[in-house]
Amino acid sequence: MTFELTKEYLDRIQTAIEAGDDTTLRVEMEELYPADISGILYELDTDHAHYLLNLLDHAVGAEIISNLDPAVRVDLLKTFTSEELAPFINQMESDDAVDVLNEQPIQVREEVIALLEDREQARFILDLLHYDEDVAGGLMQKELIKINVNLTVNACIEEIRDQAENVENVYAVYVVDDVGKLLGLVSLKKIVLARKTARIADIYDDDIVYVETYRPAAEVAEVMQKYDLDAVPVVNVQKRLLGRITIDDIVDLITEQAEEDIQVISGLSGEVEEDDTIWARSKVQLPWLVAGAVGSLLAATVINGFQSELGKIAALAAFIPIIGSTGGNVGIQTSSLILQSLSDTTGLNATLGQRLLRTLLVAVINGLVVGLIAGTYTFLIGEPRLFFVVAMSLLAVVLLASFMGTVTPLLLNRIGINPAVASGPFITTANDLIGIGVYFLIADLLLAEL
């Protein structure tokens, strides 16, 4: 049954917390999944969330802390002492433990590691702490199952039983040599079906995909997506097996990157959450809003410069919105396709000339269709003299917007700036300005005799 958090339920939990009714709280929490408890913690104030989390089994609490939004987690864990935090860290997978500890002050981090009962977990954490979070080493976890290539199947099964206790998900068994160099992997199915006296050397698969610790996180995501992997082993430059990256961490990475891209495309200059302070939200929205306002003022200046044309034919003003919106839409559509191609590094990239040629052909077709539709409308409203003005203006705007939507992200990418910034208000504002200017220039040329 799906849990639904209601105001009445939340009030009951808060009342139990304030009354110190630990029995009721434990009974209520035992019936919920960790994800449901996380939803409750988001709605509680920090002190109440601290109280409730400390009542939970450490394994459950560890899963909840690992999956909390980092901003919420940082504020919550500030209320924990090192002694309170250590038991939860002790139950986490090593990669999640490192993520949480990296958010803590250095003193707290060192105190927690010193307090860990599982010294192997402490060693794993220390091994991972020196990796940057945006490379494979920073994504990997140390928990995995590896066996020596010289073992028999029977000995391998015993080894799996010993190692699997600390491994949450067993996707495959990695095969290494005497010095820990990765040789390949063997599936659980092969181990189960093989004779007990068979040697691992005879049944393992040496055709294995792996990544080095220094590989960027984005490349790891591409590798796992390309080869449809649930987990990928991580090796050092000597190809010694150090850990593995599982699909759940890659999904989190892809989701985070998608959210960042959406914010940038939307014209937000930094991370923002719905519950952030008013100033924090305003601060990330203002830069592009100001830029958009400046662009609109420039467009208004262009319009003002053509007052004489508007005075001759007032109907010209009716088509200003379609000129601006069409240019903005075309620019965003084109730049989105370019951004998609830039993010796909697994295929062959087209040259700039090839991209521009394809963009030009598509723009000609789109511009002609949209121009003819808008031009036909001029007859319906009784302004046939505007047919060529509107039709040609829309064709020109579509061509120019397509060109800008193609070139701008490519240029930004070439100079090392995130090309996603070209897909938001920047493209829209620039195309509004160019589109209106082109519209009135064409009107001035074609209607000069009036």
Q: What is the pLDDT of residues 72-101, one digit of tens each?
A: 999 999 999 999 999 999 999 999 999 999
In the CATH hierarchy, which top-level class contains the domain 278-446? mainly alpha
Residue-wise pLDDT for 173-218, tens only, equals 999 999 999 999 999 899 989 998 999 999 999 999 999 999 999 8
pLDDT of 181 reads: 96
| Token output for 396 | 């020109």
From 369, 376, 423, 385, select the one nearest 401 (Cα to Cα): 423
Which pLDDT score, from 0 to 100, does residue 1 have? Answer: 61
User: Is residue 333 very low, low, confident or very high in pLDDT (cuts 50, 70, 90)?
Assistant: confident
Q: How many CB atoms lie within 10 A of CB 345?
A: 10
Looking at the predicted structure, is the pLDDT value of residue 366 above 80?
Answer: yes
CB-based contact 111:135 (threshold 8 Å):
no
CATH code of 146-247, in short, is 3.10.580.10
Q: What is the pLDDT of residue 310?
A: 65
Whole-model pTM: value is: 0.66
Q: Domain limits of the chain?
A: 9-134, 146-247, 278-446
Task: Please indicate whether the domains covering 9-134 and 146-247 agree at the CATH topology level.
Answer: no
- Mean pLDDT, all residues of the chain: 85
Residue 448 pLDDT > 70, yes or no? no
Segment 231-237 shows an average pLDDT of: 94
What token pair was written down for 250?
């890659």
Looking at domain 9-134, its CATH architecture is: Alpha Horseshoe (1.25)
Q: What is the pLDDT of residues 10-38, one digit of tens each?
A: 999 999 999 999 999 999 999 899 999 99
pLDDT exceeds cutoff 90 at 165? no
By the 8 A CB rule, do 147 and 156 touch?
Answer: yes
Q: Which residue has the higher pLDDT, 295 or 39?
A: 39
Q: What confidence score (pLDDT) does residue 108 get?
A: 95
